[in-house]
Copies of this chain bind each other. A is one copy, B any other.
Amino acid sequence: MTRLLMAAVVGLATALPAAAQFQKPEDAIKYRQSAFTVMANHLGRVGAMAQGRAPFDAKVAADNTAIVSTMSMLPFHAFVPGSDKGAPNRAKAEVWSDGAKFKAAAEKMQAEVAKLDAAAKGGNLDAIKGAMGAVGGACKACHDDFRAERYSN
């Protein structure tokens, strides 16, 4: 498992994109919302297996966690200064006023997603369930602190 986890973490590091290039604030907002949408969809497919709402298929689970892992690295480059406005979005001011805490929350999620991906590659449903719980906790913690209830423009 340790080697699998290392492989996952190395994989994430190499998947890191360069600093995002966005012409307008609304481009950055659209991009980060899109990345979260794709990530949530594929995480949801694994979650359905973890919760018994879908039959467990180890290959399908691993294919989906690989996509989640790739996506987990993408949105945070797009919270560029000035992109709090420009299109309806739910980013709280704290994203920019407490950037260190936001970065830590993002990295916590990425680390838990890496563990989930490693667990899925291992093919053990119980390990996936445990890792999924930690991913869900990391998502929620960041949403609680940095995502508003309502969209503002």
Q: A28-58 vs B: 1/0 string, CB under 8 Å?
A: 0011011101100110110010000010010
Can you tell how many copies of this chain the complex includes? 2
The smallest beta-carbon distance between A35 and chain B, in angstroms, is 5
Q: What is the minimal beta-carbon distance from A19 to any residue of chain B, in angstroms?
A: 9
Is B35 in contact with A31, judged by CB distance below 8 angstroms? no
Task: Evaluate contact between B31 and A41: CB separation under 8 angstroms.
Answer: yes
Q: Is A66 part of the binding interface, using a Cβ–Cβ cutoff of 8 Å?
A: yes
In the complex, residue of chain B having the shortest beta-carbon distance to the beta carbon of A73: B67
Chain B residues lying within 8 Å of A41, measured Cβ to Cβ, are 20, 31
Counting chain A residues whose Cβ lies within 8 A of the other chain, the interface size class is 20 to 34
**Residues of B contacting A38 with CB < 8 Å?**
31, 34-35, 38, 71, 74
When the two chains form the complex, which single residue of B18, B21, B35, B42 contacts A17, counting CB atoms closer than 8 Å? B42
From B17, B48, B57, B67, A64 is in contact (CB under 8 Å) with B17
Q: Do A44 and B63 have beta carbons less than 8 Å apart?
A: no
Contacts of A30 in B (CB 8 A): 37
- Per-residue 0/1 for A2-26: is the Cβ within 8 Å of any B Cβ (1 yes, 0 no)? 0000000000001111101100000
Q: Please list the residues of chain A having a beta carbon within 8 angstroms of any beta carbon in chain B.
A: 14-18, 20-21, 30-31, 33-35, 37-38, 41-42, 44-45, 48, 54, 57, 60, 63-64, 66-67, 70-71, 74
